[in-house]
Structure 1
């Protein structure tokens, strides 16, 4: 199976940036310990209200299992009132530029 690359952009409601960041930070170590997680990094935009998760998973099956974990369900519940819009999730394929 091919590696699965993911970006997830989360926008904070005005005034909720710090609270959202706190909630997002809570899952990082747990996710990094999940089977199949090769990379799980949290970034914050320079203008402060956008957050980006950059993820690499061993396979689509590992990513699917990640979405069903209790800590992700808890994070979604804890952040629902802090976000300005639905999370934008994109799946990516690696492009071998040497080909």
Structure 2
């Protein structure tokens, strides 16, 4: 069963650039995980808040992601940079468009 995660990350303004860099690195590594289907980073109109959209093949893939060294490194590096705890919402997919084979 495909599982989606929606995460909202809000850094302190003075740490915005550092958080973006850490997120971009985590995106790069997370997309290479065996059970990851999508890992997309968005920035809100406020110029500060980030959203992640993640898709995994199953719960085991989520567990593997959370135990990965890149995820653990991200958490440790950004612990003092966030103005609020990361908001995470997990949802079971009901109707997901087929993944593009061309990378679009």
SS of residue matched to 2:85 = coil
1:41 aligns with 2:40: yes
Gaps of 5+ in 2: 96-104
Instruction: Output the CA distance in 2 between the equivalents of 1:91 and 1:84.
Output: 22
What is the rounded CA distance, in whole Å, between the counterparts of 2:11 and 2:48 in structure 1?
Answer: 5
Q: Note the alpha carbon deviations across 1:44-73, whole angstroms, 9 max, x for none.
A: 111111111100000011011110001100
Aligned partners of 1:7, 1:94: CA distance in 2, in Å?
A: 12
Alignment correspondent of 1:26: 25
TM-score by length of 2: 0.86
Match for residue 84 of structure 1?
Answer: 83
**After the TM superposition, which residues 42-81 of structure 1 pair with which residues of structure 2 at under 5 Å, given as runs?**
42-81=41-80
Aligned counterparts of 1:60 and 1:33: Cα–Cα separation in 2: 17
Structural RMSD (CA): 1.0
Q: What is the total number of aligned residue pairs between the two structures?
A: 95
Q: Report deviation, 1:95.
A: 3.3
